[in-house]
Amino acid sequence: MNEMPRYLTPRQAADWFGLSVRTLDRYRASGEGPAFHRFGGRIRYLREDLQAWADARRRTSTADDGGVGRPKS
């Protein structure tokens, strides 16, 4: 079994999430996506950063907005 590389291409990252590359590109451009690295002209994602981004979006119900719109304590 091939182990997934530590740094993933945008295509690999998008596949991991079940997203299109274009959606991941939009998230990156808007700053809403996972942290990424730029090596020359190439974009790469660390697996750990992808998991952290996914974990931050974990919800327990469709009503759970993750704190968006709630007043800060």
Q: Which domains does the chain have, with CATH numbers?
A: 7-56 (3.90.105)
Residue 59 has a pLDDT of 87
- Say yes or no to pLDDT of 73 above 50: no
The residues, any chain, with a CB within 8 Å of residue 47's CB and separated by 6 or more, are: 4, 6, 8
User: Tell me, what's the pLDDT at 61?
Assistant: 87
Cα separation, 8 vs 70, in Å, equals: 34
Helix segments in the chain, DSSP class H: 10-17, 21-30, 47-56
User: Model-level pTM?
Assistant: 0.77
With cut-offs at 50, 70 and 90, classify the pLDDT of residue 68. low
Nearest Cα neighbor of 45 from 2, 4, 3 is 4
CA angle 48, 30, 53 (to 5 degrees): 20
The per-residue pLDDT for range 26-52, each reduced to its tens digit, is 999 999 999 999 999 999 999 999 999
- What is the pLDDT at residue 70? 52
